[in-house]
Structure 1
């Protein structure tokens, strides 16, 4: 994996903690750009993979943080971020270390992490990402960033190695706010696109015909033109690769859960967001957890068949 050296990156001391599908390629891009990268993950297999990829692996998270000027975390949930901060990362890091959390977590958790970091003499930005594994590997992620202007400026050269678009959304937690709103749009539209294709099937439309119309009309959206839920129209979509994620159904269920948490806190009447959360929560309880979230079309077909069978029974 190659990346062009960038001013502000070469020689920067960066700890990358969390070496899953996203964190590992992000660490690799920073390393290739000339940063002095040290890594760690609580999962042994992830540490072995990182070492095999030529990355330096620390004995534990605090040891990595102790060597860094910037600590980048990519963890599954907000509780993991807060536990790690309280569990030694903040106390081990040199004063004024910049903590960059790229996890997708609740807005309240991001603001709590910011408060903990500042109380320990450090800086913090929340910088969740969009673009998936392919974006992490190719350095084309989008970063939605919340934090002070000077902290965002300090992190920007590093973010530009890993991403193509960096948007400063406002103060602490507002990067997460943008991410949760974006993914609520995505979850709702992916369900709508799946329902439209199943309706088209029942009405006798071919997938290609519906795609040609909707992709060039007012139904055009990312869930259709990039993540098309049926094989054929978009060769690179997960539907053409047995619905391998991409972005897994379990992750969409998690993100919509964060959206509902924000909806309930703010009192927004977001009926579509609530419905999407319920649909993906059920989807993720079965095989959908490991499928791309566009596999929700299987759930739509199953519910449609059940409804048709019930209607047929009522007619007899």
Structure 2
């Protein structure tokens, strides 16, 4: 089947995701409100539509969105002459944004009322995962919508999970990223403790990778440089996944926990630490730079 894909939101994640679709032979047209992001899309030879009103037509078979917050998804989908007003009933909607569950369900309900299939499909894996098409994608939606979306999702990600009904994708992503924020802090604490104890950090890192203290921040995305090549910590903490985005996800997790009457003391503490880090002007740095807070006066690594 030949898809005509409209891709809305080509920032740090959306741009490489759209490129992977284009490189797989799909016809992709992209839109973003940011001139900077549009310029980058042009540099990557993506087909750009600068007028949102002309982005979607009767031939559009898939709409993919990758937006910062729930308010942006709601505006794009639900506003007058927005996505839901423009697409045909045969069009599949895929929202890859990480947003609050209630907004995801609201948009999904409106789409269902119009007879349009929709999934929420937030992703995990950062910019590196988006570039390499190795993202983990967590999907919420009907079985039919999931099965229809699967061939497209496989062009952008490696591991695709159907978590349940609409909104479940974001629920699963929020749970995952709460754990990620906590474990990044834990990894920072462990490695900086090793430094203060005058133990070779590389040795401790190697031990942790192969012992019970292992985690994704240790094995894939360490918070200190000199441990794994190609990670943000080795590139002056230029963001693969920014501290601001982690802070947003921890806020979503905290809201979900309160609504579900769930106890998440470590999640709350991680939110406090990241919120203060962002308030101090570090939102645009990679979230692994939280090691600077943990390390204190023992932390002396290059950072921009």
**Normalising to structure 2: TM-score of the pair?**
0.92
| SS of alignment partner, residue 229 of structure 2 | coil
| Structure 2 counterpart of 1:182, from 173, 176, 182 | 176
1:137 aligns with 2:128: no
Distance (Å, rounded) in 1 between the aligned partners of 2:260 and 2:167: 14
Q: Does residue 221 of structure 2 align to residue 230 of structure 1?
A: no
Give 1:47 shift.
2.3
What displacement does 1:290 show?
1.6
SS of residue matched to 1:215:
helix
Query: Alignment length, in residue pairs?
Result: 296
The 2-side partners of 1:217 and 1:95 are apart by 52
Following the alignment from structure 2 to structure 1, what is the Cα–Cα distance between the partners of residues 295 and 43? 43
| 2:112 is aligned with 1:112 | no
Question: What's the counterpart of residue 282 of structure 1?
Answer: 276
Aligned to 1:77: 69
Q: 1:59 to 1:296 in 2, by over 3 A?
A: closer
**Other-structure match for 2:78:** 86
Moved more, 15-24 or 38-47: 38-47
CA contact (8 A) 1:100 1:125 kept: yes
Shift in alpha-carbon separation, 1:51–1:236, aligned structure 2, 3 A: closer
Partner residue of 1:40? 31
Deviation at 1:51, TM superposition (A): 3.1
Question: Aligned to 1:150, what secondary structure does the other structure show?
Answer: helix
Tell me, which stretches of 5 or more residues in structure 1 are unaligned?
Answer: 1-7, 306-316
> Given the alignment of the two structures, is residue 124 of structure 1 paired with residue 118 of structure 2, yes or no?
yes
Cα deviation for residue 303 of structure 1 reads 8.3
Q: Which consecutive residues of structure 2, in runs of 5 or more, have no partner in the other structure?
A: 300-304
- Give distance in 2, aligned partners of 1:139 and 1:233: 23
> Aligned equivalents of 1:56 and 1:233: distance in 2?
38
Q: CA deviation at 1:248?
A: 0.9
Give how far 1:304 is off: 8.4
Decide which of 248, 252, 255 is 1:258's aligned counterpart: 252
Question: Aligned to 1:100, what secondary structure does the other structure show?
Answer: strand
Native 8 Å contact 1:15 1:65 kept in 2: yes
| Whole-Å separation in 2 of the counterparts to 1:282 and 1:303 | 17
Aligned partner of 1:170 in structure 2 is: 164
Q: Give the Cα–Cα distance (whole angstroms) in 2 for the partners of residues 228 and 172 of structure 1.
A: 33
Distance 1:248 1:280 in 2: 11
Higher Cα Rg: structure 1 or 2?
1
Deviation at 1:59, TM superposition (A): 4.2
Correspondences of 1:136-155 after superposition (within 5 Å): 136-155=130-149
Distance 1:235 1:84 in 2: 38
Match of 1:28 among 19, 25, 46: 19
SS in 2 for 1:232: coil
Q: CA deviation at 1:239?
A: 1.7
Name the counterpart of 2:55: 64
Contact 1:243 1:295 in 2 (8 A): yes
Give the TM-score of the pair, scaled to structure 1: 0.89
